[in-house]
C-alpha cells in the first residue's frame, strides 16, 4: 500500500510531513509513504500582508485540490492555517500532540517584550499579534514580515527589525529554539486558533487510510482543544483578516478557554475567559464567540470589513 502526502515546500512543512511519514512507516512497514511537493498561493505571494491577500485556503487550497483529484491522499498542515470550513469531500482525520502553542519573541540584543527599546521595530504580518503588541506596547513600530521561519530569522539578523514574533512551535521544530529570547505568556499574547497542532486532512470515506493515520498520529487532547478553537473561529468567521485568538486547555475539572476579538489598532479589545465542564467542545467554542460578538465584537468586525 502507498500513501501520498501533499506538502508545501518550506522547511517547516517538509519537517512536519516527514515526521508523519516516519510515524506511519515505523508502525506499518507494509505501507510506503511518498511526499508530493505542492506550491500554494500563500507561497507565491510574498510581497503583501496576509490580510490583504484573502485568507480562505491561502496555504491549503492547491493541496486540497490535489486530494480531491486523487493526486495525493492526505495533507499535513499547521492546523492554524486551515480554514474552519473544509471543501466538500474532505475532513480532518487526525490531530498531533500539541507543541508549544505560544508565540515567541526573537530579537537583536536578547530583549524581552517589556524591555525592548522605545519605538523598536517589530516584524509580524499577523493582525492578531499586531493588536496585542499595540495593546501592551503602543510605542512599538509594527512592520510587516513575510516568508518562511528561516527567512524571517535571516531578515532579523540582517538588522531589518529589532525583534520579530513567530510561533514557538515552528521555531522549535526547526531547531532554532536557542534564538528565542522570550516565550510570550497567553496572558499577554493569546495564541492563534490551533497553533502548535498538526492537522492531517484526508478524503471522506478513505477509511483504511484514516484508520492508519489516526492510530499513529491522533492525540485526543489536541483533538478536543482544536474542536473548541475551530468552533470559535467558525462562529466569528475570522481568519488572517481579523485580530482574534482562542486558546483552550484541558483541565481536570473542564476546559479552560481564553479568547479575544480586537480592532485593527488594538484600542478596542474584548476578552473572554472561563472554565467549562458540561458542554461539548463545539458548544464551548461557539458560546464564547457569541458572547464576544454580543459584547461589541460584531461591530468591530463590521468596521474591519468596511475598512478593507
Q: How many CB atoms lie within 10 A of CB 49?
A: 17
Cell numbers for 58, please give them.
Answer: 491561502
What amino acid positions are annotated as catalytic residues?
81
CB contact set of 128 (below 8 Å; sequence gap of 6+) = 190, 192, 243, 244, 245
The C-alpha angle 221, 72, 37, rounded to 5 degrees, equals: 90
Cα distance between residue 50 and residue 145, in whole Å: 10
Cα distance between residue 127 and residue 301, in whole Å: 13
CB contact set of 265 (below 8 Å; sequence gap of 6+) = 131, 134
Cα distance between residue 1 and residue 33, in whole Å: 9
Amino acid at each position: 500500500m502507498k500513501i501520498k502526502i501533499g506538502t508545501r515546500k518550506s522547511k517547516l512543512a517538509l519537517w512536519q510531513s516527514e515526521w508523519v511519514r516516519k510515524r506511519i512507516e515505523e508502525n506499518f512497514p507494509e505501507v510506503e509513504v511518498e511526499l508530493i511537493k505542492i506550491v500554494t498561493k500563500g507561497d507565491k505571494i510574498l510581497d503583501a500582508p496576509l490580510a490583504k491577500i484573502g485568507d480562505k485556503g491561502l496555504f491549503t487550497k492547491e493541496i486540497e485540490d490535489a486530494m480531491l483529484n486523487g493526486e495525493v491522499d492526505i495533507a499535513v498542515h499547521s492546523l492554524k492555517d486551515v480554514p474552519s470550513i473544509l471543501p466538500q469531500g474532505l475532513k480532518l482525520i487526525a490531530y498531533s500532540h500539541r507543541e508549544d502553542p505560544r508565540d515567541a519573541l526573537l530579537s537583536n540584543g536578547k530583549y524581552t517584550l517589556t524591555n525592548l527599546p522605545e519605538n523598536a521595530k517589530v516584524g509580524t504580518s499577523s493582525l492578531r499579534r499586531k493588536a496585542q503588541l499595540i495593546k501592551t506596547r503602543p510605542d512599538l513600530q509594527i512592520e510587516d514580515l513575510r516568508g518562511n521561519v528561516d527567512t524571517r530569522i535571516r531578515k532579523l539578523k540582517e538588522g531589518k527589525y529589532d525583534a520579530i514574533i513567530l510561533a514557538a512551535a515552528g521555531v522549535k521544530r526547526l531547531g532554532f529554539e536557542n534564538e528565542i529570547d522570550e516565550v510570550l505568556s497567553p496572558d499577554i499574547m493569546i495564541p492563534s486558533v490551533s497553533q502548535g497542532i498538526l492537522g492531517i486532512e484526508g478524503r471522506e470515506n478513505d477509511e483504511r487510510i484514516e484508520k492508519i493515520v489516526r492510530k499513529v498520529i491522533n492525540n485526543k487532547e489536541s483533538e478536543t482543544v482544536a474542536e473548541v478553537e475551530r468552533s470559535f473561529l467558525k462562529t466569528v468567521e475570522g481568519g488572517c483578516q481579523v485580530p482574534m485568538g482562542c486558546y483552550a486547555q484541558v483541565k481536570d475539572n473542564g476546559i479552560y478557554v481564553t479568547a479575544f476579538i480586537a480592532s485593527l489598532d488594538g484600542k478596542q479589545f474584548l476578552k473572554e475567559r472561563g472554565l467549562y465542564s458540561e458542554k461539548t467542545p463545539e458548544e464551548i467554542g461557539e458560546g464564547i464567540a457569541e458572547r464576544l460578538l454580543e459584547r461589541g465584537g460584531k461591530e468591530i468586525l463590521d468596521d474591519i470589513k468596511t475598512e478593507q
